[in-house]
């Protein structure tokens, strides 16, 4: 049989009237069907058990059971096959019942057997409907499978995405931690750099008392050598030496305390004037020697803010050294001043202004000054970190920093600190 040749559909015909059965078979075979015969219900069921058929043609009146009973038995046995019921004329009610019970179609017998002409068409249509229904079923099953597959894929992908998201969050957490560490190192580096910038000043600060100590010692030695050692002179000199040694101790202590890593330093209620004054310990003498007058207008009755002494001191050191450097660009003989004012604004703010009358900041430079590593100073004399660290220190206190400057006339930094700042706010910044 060539592959192209269409397969003949196999029909089981259950009909107790032998004559009708033969005639029907002949007619169907002529139409291209293969037909098997059974003469009663049980024979039909047996044949269905042994062979497979494409469709079954069932006479309703059978000797051992009726067509509908047989249909039900076929369904009970799980045999899926289109069933066409053949009823006698006038039995249309049975046809309706059969259709309700799952028959694919029905044919009404006529006495002249003319119904045989329509029979092949009825069978073909039933087969087609059956095949279509099967195809639909298959497609629906496929669709269901695809839907399930898709749902599983979506589920897997969602899981993957969630994991990815979690990894990403973990990465962000790690990076944030790294960044905080780097920032802390940067602050420490900036502080050491600030100390470096202060270096010359520190030498200055120590030189002064050292000179006094040395001069007093010379005087005592001189007196001893010339034999006019007077007890009063020794006492005065020793007191002078002591007070200047004390001054040196304060300076050295201060450097040690300031350079210390901040991790263990405390946050507490602080009077803003303390770090302002302390910031001058290492700077005052050198500012004086440069002819820069420091004017302090500090309100002594200010409420305390929540703060970190070293960080606040570092803020004022940075602003004062910047002002000091800005006077290097002044060629005229103006009276150089750095004025620091502290005062309360409204009920909830403390303001500190650091104002100089030095060279000022040109308009095109102004937007950059808080950027890390931005400097207009010569290579080696500025790291450009001062104001960026100052900015983050002010922010850590919940404060704001702004600047007003006019090229050639001077610069004022305005710092605002909140009064109602709780410990938790500072810890969230740590």
| Residue (43 or 375) nearer to ligand ATP, CB | 375
Residue written as token pair 């050692």: 229
Q: Closest residue to Mg ion, Cβ-based?
A: 386
* Radius of gyration of the chain from its Cα atoms, rounded to whole angstroms: 53
Least distance from ligand ATP to the Cβ atom of residue 215, Å: 34
The length of the chain in residues reads 430
CA atoms within 13 A on the CB side of 148: 6
Binding at 207: pick from ligand ATP, Mg ion, none (beta carbon under 5-8 Å per type): none
Binding at 359: pick from ligand ATP, Mg ion, none (beta carbon under 5-8 Å per type): ligand ATP
- Show the binding pattern over residues 246-285: x = contacts Mg ion (CB under 5 A), - = does not: ----------------------------------------
The whole-angstrom separation of Cα 310 and Cα 308 is: 6
Least distance from ligand ATP to the Cβ atom of residue 222, Å: 44
| Residue (116 or 358) nearer to ligand ATP, CB | 358
DSSP SS3 for 341: strand
Binding at 197: pick from ligand ATP, Mg ion, none (beta carbon under 5-8 Å per type): ligand ATP
Binding at 285: pick from ligand ATP, Mg ion, none (beta carbon under 5-8 Å per type): none
Nearest to 339 by CA among 405, 294, 372: 294
Nearest to 125 by CA among 98, 101, 106, 97: 106
| Residue (193 or 250) nearer to ligand ATP, CB | 193
- Between helices 67-76 and 92-100, what is the axis angle to 10°? 10
- Among the candidate windows 102-110, 217-225, 362-370, 381-389, which touches Mg ion by CB under 5 A? 381-389
The whole-angstrom separation of Cα 256 and Cα 393 is: 20
- Among the candidate windows 156-164, 229-237, 243-251, 314-322, which touches Mg ion by CB under 5 A? 314-322
Residue written as token pair 């103006």: 334
| Residue (66 or 337) nearer to ligand ATP, CB | 337
- Report the chain's terminal Cα–Cα distance, integer Å: 88
Binding at 286: pick from Mg ion, ligand ATP, none (beta carbon under 5-8 Å per type): none
| Residue (138 or 291) nearer to ligand ATP, CB | 291
| Residue (98 or 358) nearer to ligand ATP, CB | 358
| Residue (56 or 369) nearer to ligand ATP, CB | 369
- Between helices 309-326 and 386-396, what is the axis angle to 10°? 150
The whole-angstrom separation of Cα 44 and Cα 49 is: 9
Q: Closest residue to ligand ATP, Cβ-based?
A: 386
Nearest to 386 by CA among 367, 402, 373, 401: 373
Helix, strand, coil % in the chain, rounded to nearest 5: 55, 15, 25
Binding at 95: pick from ligand ATP, Mg ion, none (beta carbon under 5-8 Å per type): none
Q: Is 55 within 8 Å of 126 (Cβ atoms)?
A: yes
Residue from 87, 286, 322, 411 touching Mg ion (CB under 5 A): that is 322
- Among the candidate windows 38-46, 89-97, 112-120, 379-387, which touches Mg ion by CB under 5 A? 379-387
Return residues touching ligand ATP (CB under 6 A): 193, 197, 318, 322-323, 326, 356, 358-359, 361, 365, 369, 374-377, 382-388, 411
Least distance from Mg ion to the Cβ atom of residue 379, Å: 15
The whole-angstrom separation of Cα 18 and Cα 208 is: 140
Alpha helices in 31-114 (DSSP H): 41-50, 67-76, 92-100
| Residue (88 or 384) nearer to ligand ATP, CB | 384
| Residue (213 or 359) nearer to ligand ATP, CB | 359
For residue 175, the Cα-to-chain-centroid distance in whole angstroms is: 12
**C-alpha distance from residue 266 to each of 244, 270, 309 (Å):** 30, 11, 8
| Residue (271 or 322) nearer to Mg ion, CB | 322
- Show the binding pattern over residues 335-364: x = contacts Mg ion (CB under 5 A), - = does not: ------------------------------
- Among the candidate windows 185-193, 321-329, 345-353, 416-424, which touches Mg ion by CB under 5 A? 321-329
| Residue (126 or 388) nearer to Mg ion, CB | 388
Task: Please name every residue paired with 187 in a beta bridge, in sequence order, or none if there are none.
Answer: none
Contact set for Mg ion, span 38-97 (CB under 5 A): none
DSSP H or E run through 298: strand 292-298
For residue 86, the Cα-to-chain-centroid distance in whole angstroms is: 73
For position 201 contacting Mg ion by CB under 5 A, the verdict is: no
Binding at 282: pick from ligand ATP, Mg ion, none (beta carbon under 5-8 Å per type): none
DSSP H or E run through 404: strand 400-406
Residue from 41, 82, 201, 386 touching Mg ion (CB under 5 A): that is 386
Backbone angles phi, psi at 346, to 5 degrees: 50, -155
| Residues that bind Mg ion in the complex, under the rule CB under 5 A | 322, 386
């Amino acid at each position: 049989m060539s592959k192209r040749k269409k397969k003949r559909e196999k029909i089981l015909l259950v009909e107790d009237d032998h004559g009708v059965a033969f005639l029907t078979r002949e007619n169907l075979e002529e139409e291209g069907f293969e037909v098997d015969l059974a003469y009663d219900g049980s024979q039909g069921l047996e044949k269905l058990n042994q062979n497979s058929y494409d469709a079954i043609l069932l006479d309703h009146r059978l000797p051992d059971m009726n067509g509908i009973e047989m249909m039900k038995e076929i369904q009970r046995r799980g045999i899926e096959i289109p069933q066409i019921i053949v009823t006698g004329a006038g039995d249309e009610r049975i046809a309706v019942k059969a259709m309700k019970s799952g028959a694919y179609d029905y044919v009404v017998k006529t006495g002249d057997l003319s119904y045989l002409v329509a029979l092949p068409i009825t069978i073909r249509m039933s087969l087609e409907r059956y095949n279509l229904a099967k195809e639909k079923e298959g497609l629906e099953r496929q669709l269901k499978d695809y839907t399930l597959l898709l749902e599983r894929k979506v589920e897997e992908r969602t899981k993957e995405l969630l994991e990815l998201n979690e990894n990403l969050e973990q990465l962000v957490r790690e990076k944030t931690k790294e960044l905080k560490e780097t920032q802390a190192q940067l602050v420490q580096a900036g502080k050491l750099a600030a100390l470096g910038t202060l270096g010359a000043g520190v030498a200055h600060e120590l030189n002064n008392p050292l000179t006094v100590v040395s001069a007093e010692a010379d005087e005592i030695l001189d007196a001893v050598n010339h034999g006019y050692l007077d007890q009063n002179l020794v006492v005065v000199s020793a007191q002078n030496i002591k007070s200047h040694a004390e001054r040196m101790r304060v300076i050295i202590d201060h450097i040690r305390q300031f350079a210390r890593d901040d991790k263990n330093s405390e946050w507490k209620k602080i009077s803003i004037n303390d770090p302002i004054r302390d910031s001058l310990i290492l700077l005052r003498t050198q500012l004086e020697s440069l002819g820069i007058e420091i004017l302090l207008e500090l309100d002594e009755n200010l409420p305390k803010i929540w703060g970190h002494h070293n960080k606040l001191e570092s803020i004022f050191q940075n602003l004062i050294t910047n002002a000091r450097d800005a006077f290097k660009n002044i060629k005229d003989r103006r009276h150089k001043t750095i004025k620091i004012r502290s005062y309360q604004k409204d009920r909830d703010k403390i303001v500190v202004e650091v104002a100089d009358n030095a060279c000022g900041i040109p308009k095109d430079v102004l937007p950059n000054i808080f950027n890390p590593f931005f400097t207009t100073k010569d290579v080696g004399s500025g790291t450009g970190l001062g104001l960026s660290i100052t900015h983050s220190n002010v922010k850590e206190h919940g404060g704001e920093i702004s600047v007003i400057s006019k090229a050639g006339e001077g610069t004022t930094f305005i710092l605002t600190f909140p009064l109602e700042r709780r410990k938790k706010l500072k810890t969230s910044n740590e």
